[in-house]
A = this chain, B = another copy of it.
Amino acid sequence: MAVQNKTYTLVKCRAVADIEKISENINITIDDNGRIKSIGSEIEGDEIDCRNYVVIPGLINAHTHSAMIALRGYYDDAELQEWLRKMWEFERSMSKDLMRISSEIAIIEMLSSGTTGFVDMYFNPEQLKELSNIYKIRVQAGYTFLDNLYDPYLIDKLQRELKPEGYFQPIINVHSIYATSKETLELANQLSKELGERIHIHVSETRREIYEVKKKTGMFPVEYLNSLNMLDRMQLVHLGWVASWEIDLIREKNAIVTNCPTSAMKLATAGFFPFKEMLNSGITVTLGTDGPASNNSLDMFREMKNAILLYRHSYWSTSVKAIDAFRSATYEGYKLLKVKGGKIREGYVADLVLLDAKRLYPLFKDRLISHIVYTATGDMVKAVIVNGNMRTKDEILERLPKLIERLHRLLNA
């Protein structure tokens, strides 16, 4: 049922759910520009029978390292600093071929599990640009400032040559404060101003990071970034150890934040992202799986659940609800991408996920968001639409077996 570049209608969707509304037995017409044209009883163009599907907006994975598929399961049982040393050791000699095949596999995994866009931090953005347009999945990626692996002036030069194209938008990646010098941060900041690109960085992930940044600069990490006049163009990932006054700074400067609950728990960082406080401040709160070597799943359904679980456990409170995680994964993700999406409304991009209605039960309207967050996994996805381009799960998975064979050959070589 692959559909592309023409008008068609999802007919009699069992349910259509976004953060604002749940409708039942309703049609969605998608126009030839990949936008939602109408929601209601209209039918136009090809008809796709959706009586067995629950339709939700596409999920945005706001933070991952797709090429680390090669490193999935490589070193799982260690804390962050030791884990990073192991990763960097491997990455120093990672071939371009291995990066590409890994990112391609990750894209197939993400798309097939309902992820319609993602933000990537790694060293292969040109490959991701090509792959994003082959697979028609929204990607933001860039070269990564990481002083012990790459000369920052080389990164600066490469990033200037990286241009947007189709489904791909460049962003500037900075690994972290602890893995870059002040000069590198200033270089990245200058570049961000010149190119108008957002800076995507790991911040306040461990207590050790807080201690070291404080010792070196006299400031907490977010305060430090603010002192460098960067905060207004930043996407801050992790924030497990952020302080309340830093949350105020984030709000003032309109920085965007990303919660990666599974990775935080798996790496025993002990921090907990202040989800509710961030929401209450009106900050744009997005959700990410982190990479396949630190999660190790790229399934955003599992991540929505874990965002709730980590918060509730850490705060002794059920004040964060299923809808909050659903909002982070959909509407807030599209804000990060600067794409009018994440709601199923006329004029929004047709980035949609068709879930198997038979697997979400008891299927009552008022239980649907709960099922999506607490019960569903990406395996319940039957088809995915990005910018109007519809693919079934089988179509998405078609190339996977060959890619895995090649991955194994490259890793054994």
The interface of chain A, by Cβ under 8 A from chain B, is: 69-70, 72-74, 76-79, 105, 262, 264-268, 270, 272, 292, 295-297, 299, 302, 306, 308-310, 312-318, 321-322, 358, 361-364, 367-368, 370-371, 374-375, 377, 379, 400-401, 404, 407-408, 411
Contact = CB atoms under 8 A, between A and B. Distances in A.
B363 A315 contact: no
A97 to B, nearest CB: 14
Given A375-B72, A375-B297, A77 B266 contact: no
A324 to B, nearest CB: 10
Contacts of A408: 361-363
7 closest Cβ pairs, A-B complex: A73-B367, A379-B379, A265-B309, A73-B370, A268-B312, A270-B316, A265-B313
B265 A374 contact: no
B72 A313 contact: no
A295 B321 CA distance: 14
A250 to B, nearest CB: 23
Contacts of A367: 72-74
17 contacts: A69-B361, A70-B362, A72-B371, A73-B364, A73-B368, A73-B375, A74-B367, A77-B318, A78-B318, A262-B309, A268-B317, A296-B371, A296-B375, A302-B302, A306-B309, A309-B310, A358-B404
A374 B318 CA distance: 25
A72 B374 CA distance: 9
A305 to B, nearest CB: 8
B361 A407 contact: yes
Given A367-B73, A407-B361, A377 B377 contact: yes
Nearest to A323: B77
Contacts of A264: 313
A213 to B, nearest CB: 19
A221 to B, nearest CB: 19
Contacts of A72: 361-362, 367, 370-371, 375
A310 B265 contact: yes
A36 B127 CA distance: 49
A314 B316 CA distance: 13
Given A268-B317, A361-B408, 8 more contacts: A69-B362, A73-B370, A74-B367, A264-B313, A268-B313, A358-B401, A362-B408, A363-B404
A98 to B, nearest CB: 10
A108 to B, nearest CB: 11
A73 B367 CA distance: 5
A266 B308 contact: yes
Given A318-B267, A358-B400, A404-B358, A374 B296 contact: yes
Contacts of A78: 318
A76 B325 CA distance: 14
Contacts of A363: 404, 408
B370 A296 contact: yes
A78 B160 CA distance: 50
A302 B375 CA distance: 11
Contacts of A368: 73
Contacts of A315: 268
A268 B79 CA distance: 25
A270 B313 contact: yes
Nearest to A206: B316
A188 to B, nearest CB: 31
Contacts of A310: 265, 309, 313
Interface centre among A76, A312, A313, A314 (most CB of B within 10 A): A313
A210 to B, nearest CB: 14
A302 to B, nearest CB: 7
A302 B310 CA distance: 15
